[in-house]
Amino acid sequence: MSRLTEANVKIAHEIIARYPRPKSALIPLLHLAQEQDGWVSDEAMAHLAELVGVTPAEVRGTCTFYEMFKLHPVGTYMVNVCTNIACQLLGGEELLHHAEKTLGIRPGGTTSDGMFTLEDVECIAACTEAPCMQVNYRYGVRLSTDDFDEIIDDLRAGRTPDKLITANPGDQIPSHGTLGLTRQHLDPDKAAGIVPPEQVTENPVWLTTTKGDS
């Protein structure tokens, strides 16, 4: 889709300045790109390559290693239904089939209005609450097919679904890629001094011992 916007380039430079080597900033920058577009486009990767001084192939190598960076446009809401063993035993597959029918798409697909992308995922670490799913990584647990429909209806209507767990009740579900609703900006003078590894001469703090320290 697109390169970083001017505002995001500014943020990118802020992020880059936090690392001893620009390319160490790559993962937060990929998040930034995904936050901007909802997914990570080739143009964005090429732009990041320019910003941190590596080749686009290297950016792509890093980006494709991580499942949660999406290389294709996805819906505003990423619906991940778990069909791993615990969920499967408790109706995860039925939930997925129901989701396919309700949304009219197969796993990997996106609804034509661009609202939802459905994914069939492996364990999302809520086995005790099976069957479960996530919408933009917010959990819905012990879900029935009706619960699923309610969640979708709420989202379509612009309401925060009761059936999704949010930090505070009623918090909105931001669109896919959003990392946080507020971004922390660090004053340069408050930043921890960054020292490139080859210039580090002392042991890290956690390595120093008090007993028999030389």
Partner 1 sequence: MTATEPQADEVTDGVPVTIDGVEIMAKKGELLIAAAERHGVYIPRFCYHPRMKPVGMCRMCLVEVDTGRGPGLQPSCMLPVSDGMVVQTESDVAKKAQDGVLEFLLINHPLDCPVCDKGGECPLQDQTVAYGPGESRFVEEKRHFEKPIPISDIVYLDRERCILCDRCTRFAGDVAGDPLIHFQARGNETEVNTFPDEPFSSYFSGNTVQICPVGALTAKPYRFKARPWDLTEIASTATMDSVGSRITVQSSRNEVLRYLGVDSDPVNWGWLSDKERFSFEAWNADARLTGPLVRGDKLGNPTDSGDQLVGASWALALGKAGDALRDVDPEKVIVLGGSRMTTESQYAWAKLAKAVIGTDNVDAQLGDGPAAEVLLSLPRATIDQACAPGGTVLVVGADPKETHGALFLRLRHAAMHDGATILELNPRSSGLSQYAAQSLHALPGELGDVVGALAAGGAAGGCDADAIAAMAEALGAADAVTVVLGSGSLGEDPTVMAQAALRLAEQYPNATFLPALHRANVMGAIDAGLAPGMLPGRRRLAGSTAPDTWGSLPASAGLDAEAMLRKADAGDVEVAILLGCDPLADFPDAALAERAFNKVNHLISVDTHLNLTSTGADIVFPAAASATEVDGTFTNMEGRLSPIARKVTPPGTARPDWMIAAELAAQLADDLGFIDLDELWADFAAASPLHADLSMADIAEGGTEGVLLAGSSISRPPAPNVEMADSSDMRLIVTRKMYDAGTLLTNSPSLVELAAGASASINPAQFASLGFTDGDDVTVRSEVGSITLPVVADAGVPAGAVAIEFNQPNASAASLLDSARTVTTVSLERVS
Residues near partner 1 (CB under 8 A) are: 42, 45-46, 54-61, 64-67
- Shortest separation between residue 191's beta carbon and partner 1, angstroms: 27
Measured from the CB atom, is 6 or 198 closer to partner 1? 198
Q: What is the per-residue DSSP string for 62-125?
A: HHHH-TTS-SS---SEEEEEE-SHHHHHTTHHHHHHHHHHHHT--TT-B-TTS-EEEEEES--S
| DSSP state at residue 38 | S
Check: CB of residue 43 under 8 Å from CB of residue 3. yes
- Shortest separation between residue 212's beta carbon and partner 1, angstroms: 25
Measured from the CB atom, is 45 or 173 closer to partner 1? 45
Q: Give the whole-angstrom CA distance, residue 67 versus residue 120.
A: 13
Measured from the CB atom, is 62 or 160 closer to partner 1? 62
- Shortest separation between residue 16's beta carbon and partner 1, angstroms: 18
Measured from the CB atom, is 59 or 126 closer to partner 1? 59
- Shortest separation between residue 62's beta carbon and partner 1, angstroms: 9
| DSSP state at residue 129 | G
Q: Which residues pair with 81 in a beta bridge?
A: 120, 133
Q: What are phi and psi of 67, to 5 degrees?
A: -55, -35
- Shortest separation between residue 66's beta carbon and partner 1, angstroms: 8
Check: CB of residue 66 under 8 Å from CB of residue 107. no
Measured from the CB atom, is 59 or 78 closer to partner 1? 59
